[in-house]
Amino acid sequence: MAFTNLLIDDANGVRTITINRPDQLNALNRDTIAELDQALSAADTDKSVRVLIITGSGPKAFVAGADIKEFAHFAVEEGKALSADGQKKLFDHVEYMSKPVIAAVNGFALGGGLELAMSCHIRVASDNARMGLPEVSLGVIPGYGGTQRLARLVGKGKAMEMIFTAGMIKADEALQWGLVNYVVPQAELLAKCNELATAIMKNSPTALAAAIRAVNAGYEPGADGMKREVEEFGKCFGTADFKEGTSAFMEKRKANFTGA
Ligand code: COA
């Protein structure tokens, strides 16, 4: 699959998707969102892909937001459609992937960029990263899930502060707030993400997919996360991975999961 705005790299079960518009600080225009939608669908169904890493091209930005130049002239209905379409194609798509997705936040993660990082299951930032939701400074609000996911990750008070001030926080502050899992020097960012991916890939793909669904259920309005956990837990008992994992434990050997 050939993309104009993305680079795809596969190594040892890890697919790295790099958003590649460095001249525009990897801002998310409509074409890039459509390509990411396709790339995510392809990764989801490709059994050779066990973990995904999403990052930005160049040393400066992960993603500096939705493409302001593209939406600056939109009217109300177009604005609404922009948000709904983007949420479905990219942000919810990432959150509901059946395999773990790690954001390698290599620089500015602003607006839609931070929203993309927050849709990922795990975030690792480089020490030069800066994060913020500057939308109110443009006369708009976060529209790609930011008002919801930021509050879930850092709490309502901090989220309100970040959205109201439109300010940026540094990587170490993001770590303190629980917005990112790790901060590492920029040169070590992808290595750290790959180290996490390697630890994850030792485990059952079917169980990982079930864990993603169960954790996500706790954040769905009206969904009963505990009930979903019971269902997902039960379903695991019918998988070949469960038989392999428990047999391997009893036979004192390493499990060889097939994801079935
Ligand atoms: N949408 C469209 N283009 C963007 C962009 C965005 N969100 N963020 C950066 N760019 C473009 C700039 O317009 C510039 O393009 P140009 O050279 O064609 O003029 C290029 O990327 C480089 O950005 P520049 O502003 O010159 O870099 P900087 O180092 O001076 O500042 C930022 C970096 C991130 C502070 C600044 O680009 C910025 O504030 N971007 C917008 C962030 C934002 O509000 N995001 C939320 C959108 S909802």
Over residues 22-39, the pLDDT tens digits come to 999 999 999 999 999 999
Any domain includes 115: yes
Compute the distance from residue 259 Cα to the ligand 1 centre, in Å.
42
The model's pLDDT over 74-121, given as tens digits with 9 standing for 90+, comes to 999 999 999 999 999 999 999 999 999 999 999 999 999 999 999 999
**Cβ 68 under 6 angstroms from ligand 1:** yes
Query: Whose Cα sits closest to atom 39 in ligand 1?
Result: 64
Residues 118 and 37 in one domain: yes
Any domain includes 257: no
What is the structure's pLDDT at 6? 98
**Cβ 86 under 6 angstroms from ligand 1:** no
pLDDT at 1 over 90: no
Any domain includes 11: yes
Residues 189 and 213 in one domain: no
What is the structure's pLDDT at 228? 97
Look up the CATH number of the domain holding residue 82.
3.90.226.10
Which atom in ligand 1 lies closest to the alpha carbon of residue 138? 44
pLDDT at 190 over 90: yes
Average pLDDT over residues 48-53: 98
Compute the distance from residue 25 Cα to the ligand 1 centre, in Å.
6
What is the structure's pLDDT at 117? 99
Average pLDDT over residues 122-130: 98
Domain of 237, in residue numbers: 205-250
Any domain includes 1: no
What is the structure's pLDDT at 88? 96
What is the structure's pLDDT at 221? 84
Note if 135 is an active site residue: yes
pLDDT at 159 over 90: yes
Query: Whose Cα sits closest to atom 4 in ligand 1?
Result: 24
Any domain includes 27: yes
Average pLDDT over residues 238-255: 98
25, 62, 70, best to mutate for ligand 1 pocket (most atoms within 8 Å of CB): 25
Cβ neighbours of residue 1 under 8 Å, at least 6 residues apart? Answer: 8, 38, 39, 42
What is the structure's pLDDT at 223? 86
Average pLDDT over residues 141-154: 98
What is the per-residue DSSP string for the chain?
---SSEEEEEETTEEEEEE--GGGTT-B-HHHHHHHHHHHHHHHH-TT--EEEEEESTTTEEE--B-HHHHTT--HHHHHHHHHHHIIIIIHHHHT-SS-EEEEE-SEEETHHHHHHHHSSEEEEETT-EEE--GGGGT----SSHHHHHHHHH-HHHHHHHHHH--EEEHHHHHHHTS-SEEE-GGGHHHHHHHHHHHHHTS-HHHHHHHHHHHHHTTSTT--HHHHHHHHHHHHTTSHHHHHHHHHHHTTS-------
20, 21, 23, 24, best to mutate for ligand 1 pocket (most atoms within 8 Å of CB): 24
Residues 146 and 178 in one domain: yes
Query: Whose Cα sits closest to atom 37 in ligand 1?
Result: 64
| Percent of the chain's residues with pLDDT above 90 | 98
Residues 180 and 168 in one domain: yes
Any domain includes 255: no
Residues 14 and 118 in one domain: yes
Query: Whose Cα sits closest to atom 30 in ligand 1?
Result: 25
Any domain includes 58: yes
Mean pLDDT score across all residues of the chain: 97
How many domains does the chain divide into? 2
Query: Whose Cα sits closest to atom 19 in ligand 1?
Result: 24
* pLDDT category of residue 222 using cuts at 50, 70 and 90: confident
What is the structure's pLDDT at 31? 97
Note if 115 is an active site residue: yes
Any domain includes 256: no
Residues 122 and 189 in one domain: yes
Catalytic position from the list 35, 95, 115, 232: 115
> What's the pTM?
0.98
Residues 132 and 242 in one domain: no
Which atom in ligand 1 lies closest to the alpha carbon of residue 142? 48
Residues 177 and 214 in one domain: no
